[in-house]
């Protein structure tokens, strides 16, 4: 347990010292030791208790300090996934939680439960959108086949590409490689198919073969950003949002003003449950797309931001109450 501040003369002064320490601790989440992460929880407890004491028992108006405390807890909430890693994971937090007595509304002790609930809601949202997209795709595919009458090569490439993508979605990269090869037999220089096969190989640990395909795809596309964007989207399809996040970050390193890079970063963060970061990403993508006349991308970013906002406002999230375990 964190010791009381020896130099503080009043509860208000003690509170301000705690808030300063908390601001430093939260700013260093991910860079400190496990003990520092555990201490953060005790400091949050002390800060919350002092604000309650000052509010109910007199001794001054803690409005300014309460605002600082709320800002700190919002920042902590945004970084809770990184905090969990620093504290040693969900199991370590559960063990630590069992050794402490804390108030019911001290939700920071349940960062693991809170994070999992956010991810569950996001997965539900993604599945709902995927279902709608699948229906639209079926309709469009039917219209395509009925009215445009593509040649055999186009039809076969398209069919095997869809089967390869579905295999990735199903977590079967070996089948994805087979289907991607069949699609490539009809279109050997299709960069998207090369990336798709490369990811399927990478997921099986065949990194050298995968890199050779990535190099060829990038050569065909002639542009690093386009290549990274295509690969990030396929990583997302395969359920590897962490790898998509890395590609999106690489795009932004190459061009900090890439609207597409910020949009893809938003998609990856949203999938990983980093909702606040994703909202910032979509907002930035919308601003950059507007400035560069990318109206379609701007509209997509605004739609994703609206969807994310609705998800963040779902019950039991951000309510400041103990999540159900």
Same domain, yes or no: 208 and 245: no
Q: Angle 232-80-262 (CA atoms, 0-180°, nearest 5)?
A: 30
DSSP code at position 151 = -
| Domain final residue, candidates 64, 87, 112 | 112
Same domain assignment for residues 161 and 76: no
CB 230 within 8 A of CB 206: no
Structural domain harbouring 237: 223-317
Last residue of a domain, one of 83, 112, 141: 112
**Residue 311, domain member (yes or no):** yes
Could you tell me if residue 5 is inside a domain? no
Residue 7, token pair as written in the block: 């130099």
- Asked whether residue 84 is assigned to any structural domain, the reply reads yes
CATH number for the domain including 307? 1.25.40.10
Q: Are 122 and 270 in contact (CB under 8 A)?
A: yes
Check which CATH number belongs to the domain holding 163 and give it: 1.25.40
> Are 198 and 241 contained in the same domain?
no
pLDDT at 197 (0 to 100): 96
pLDDT (tens digit per residue) in 132-163: 455 555 555 555 554 455 677 777 888 898 89
Per-residue model confidence (pLDDT) at position 159: 85
Q: What is the mean pLDDT of the chain?
A: 81
Task: Give yes or no: residues 17 and 106 share one domain.
Answer: yes
Same domain, 231 and 194: no
307 in a structural domain: yes
Q: Which residues contact 165 (CB under 8 A, 6 or more apart)?
A: 176, 196, 237
- The candidate with the shortest Cα–Cα distance to 112, out of 126, 98, 127, is 98
Given this model, what pLDDT does residue 60 score? 67
**What digits encode the pLDDT tens for the residues 24-61?**
888 888 777 788 888 888 888 888 888 888 877 766 67
In a domain, 266, yes or no: yes
From the first residue on, what is the mean pLDDT of each consecutive set of 10 residues in the chain (325 residues)? Answer: 54 87 84 81 86 75 82 84 84 84 74 73 52 54 55 80 89 94 92 95 94 95 92 91 94 94 92 88 94 88 82 46 48
Asked if the structure places residue 122 within a domain, the reply is: no
Residue 137 lies in a domain: no
249 shares its domain with 205? no
Q: Would residue 273 be called left, alpha or beta, if left means φ above 0 and alpha means ψ between -120 and 50 degrees?
A: left
Asked if 211 and 192 sit in the same domain, the reply is yes
Residue 139 maps to a domain? no
Domain total of the chain: 3
- Residue 234 and residue 199 share a domain: no
pLDDT at 1: 46
Question: Is-above-0.75 flag for pTM?
Answer: no
């Amino acid at each position: 347990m964190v010791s009381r501040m020896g130099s503080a003369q009043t509860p208000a002064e003690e509170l301000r010292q705690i808030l300063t320490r908390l601001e430093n601790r939260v700013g260093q989440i991910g860079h400190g030791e496990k003990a520092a992460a555990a201490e953060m929880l005790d400091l949050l407890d002390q800060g919350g208790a002092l604000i309650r004491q000052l509010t109910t028992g007199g001794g001054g108006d803690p409005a300014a300090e309460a605002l600082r405390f709320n800002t700190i807890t919002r920042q902590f909430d945004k970084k809770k996934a990184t905090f969990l890693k620093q504290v040693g994971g969900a199991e370590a937090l559960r063990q630590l939680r069992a050794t402490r007595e804390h108030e019911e509304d001290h939700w920071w002790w349940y960062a693991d439960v809170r994070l999992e609930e956010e991810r569950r809601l996001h997965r539900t949202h993604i599945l709902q959108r995927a279902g709608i997209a699948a229906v639209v795709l079926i309709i469009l595919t039917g219209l395509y086949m009925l009215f445009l009458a593509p040649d055999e090569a186009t039809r076969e490439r398209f069919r095997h590409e869809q089967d390869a993508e579905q295999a990735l979605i199903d977590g079967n990269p070996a089948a994805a490689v087979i289907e991607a090869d069949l699609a490539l037999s009809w279109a050997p220089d299709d960069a998207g198919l090369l990336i798709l096969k490369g990811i399927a190989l990478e997921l099986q640990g065949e990194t050298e073969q995968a890199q050779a395909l990535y190099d060829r795809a990038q050569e065909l596309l002639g542009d690093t950003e386009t290549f990274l964007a295509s690969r990030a989207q396929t990583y997302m399809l395969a359920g590897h949002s962490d790898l998509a996040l890395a590609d999106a970050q690489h795009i932004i390193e190459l061009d900090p003003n890439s609207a597409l890079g910020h949009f893809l970063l938003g998609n990856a963060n949203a999938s990983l449950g980093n909702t606040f970061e994703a909202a910032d990403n979509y907002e930035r993508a919308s601003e950059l797309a507007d400035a560069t006349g990318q109206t379609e991308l701007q509209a997509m970013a605004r739609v994703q931001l609206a969807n994310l906002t609705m998800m963040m406002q779902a019950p039991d999230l951000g309510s400041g109450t103990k999540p159900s375990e």
